[in-house]
Amino acid sequence: MARSAAHAVRGEPAGRRALRAAPTVLLYLLGALAVWFVWPASLGGCTTLTIVSGHSMEPTLTTGDLVVARCGQAKVGDIVVYAPPGMDRTRVIHRVVGGDGAGGWTLQGDNNAWEDPFAPTDDRVVGIARLRVPGIGAAATVLVNPWLWFSVLILAAALLVWPTRSRDDVAGAQVAPAAEVPVVEAAVPAAGTDTPARAPDAVLAP
């Protein structure tokens, strides 16, 4: 009976097995998509996470806000993150108010009465603001650490390749047969005779 059941599980249609595995595959795909979306530009991705500091973009952006910027073609009206010429490690987040990507964009903070002294070209624009998470503050410093996302990728890869035991393997596992119990027939002399009496046969439960 056990072998027949195991054979039936192994013979399950491929379509049903695929349907059962679909939620796990979907979870992996969603995880990969999330990692792809937030993978930082500093590691070759297309996302820049910026923590706002200062009052130049109020009331649109305030100190402590986390801004998620994605690479793309900037246009007038966009809020962009850019690196001023000659200042590769500095990031400024202001609104494009004029200019173009070839000759240089004109930028200005929403709360400023003056334009920025820099005119960055497209190659200096790090990303266009796509999402604002208000007031996340100091906790966001962890999110902008590229090593965090590198660790996330390693963990996701480990989960994908980690060996798992499928239900089919569990169902098809061989069950060790129960050890046979030896039956010993004891011969004892019958009362008043020299002929040994035969003990009744042992009855084993099926």
Domain definitions of the chain by residue range: 2-33+165-198, 41-144
- Output the six-digit token pair for 196: 């040994």
**Residue type at position 170:** V
Phi/psi-derived region of residue 123, left when phi > 0, alpha when psi is between -120 and 50, beta in every other case: alpha
Q: Does 192 score more than 80 pLDDT?
A: no
pTM passes above 0.75: no
Nearest to 55 by CA among 46, 63, 44: 63
Q: How many Å from the N-terminal Cα to the C-terminal Cα in the chain?
A: 14
Q: Are 141 and 51 in contact (CB under 8 A)?
A: yes
- pLDDT tens-digit map of 58-92: 999 998 898 989 888 999 999 999 999 888 889 99
- Residue tagged 């200005």 (tokens): 108
What are the backbone angles phi and psi of residue 131, rounded to the nearest 5°?
A: -150, 140
Q: Helix, strand or coil for residue 156?
A: helix
In angstroms, the CA 92 to CA 127 distance is 11
Distances (CA, A) of 71 to 56, 80, 99, 131, 171: 23, 10, 19, 13, 50
The DSSP element (H or E) to which 6 belongs, if any, is helix 2-10
Q: Which stretches within 68-145 are classed as H helix?
A: 140-143
Q: Which fold has domain 41-144?
A: Umud Fragment, subunit A (2.10.109)
Give the pLDDT confidence score for residue 129 in this predicted structure: 95
Q: In what order do the strands lie in the sheet with 66-70?
A: 47-51, 66-70, 125-133, 79-82, 92-100, 104-108
The DSSP element (H or E) to which 9 belongs, if any, is helix 2-10
Give the pLDDT confidence score for residue 166 in this predicted structure: 52
Report cis status (omega within 30 of 0) of the bond before 84.
no
Q: Does 13 score more than 80 pLDDT?
A: no
- pLDDT tens-digit map of 97-146: 999 999 999 999 999 999 999 999 999 999 999 999 898 866 666 666 66
Q: Does 190 score more than 90 pLDDT?
A: no
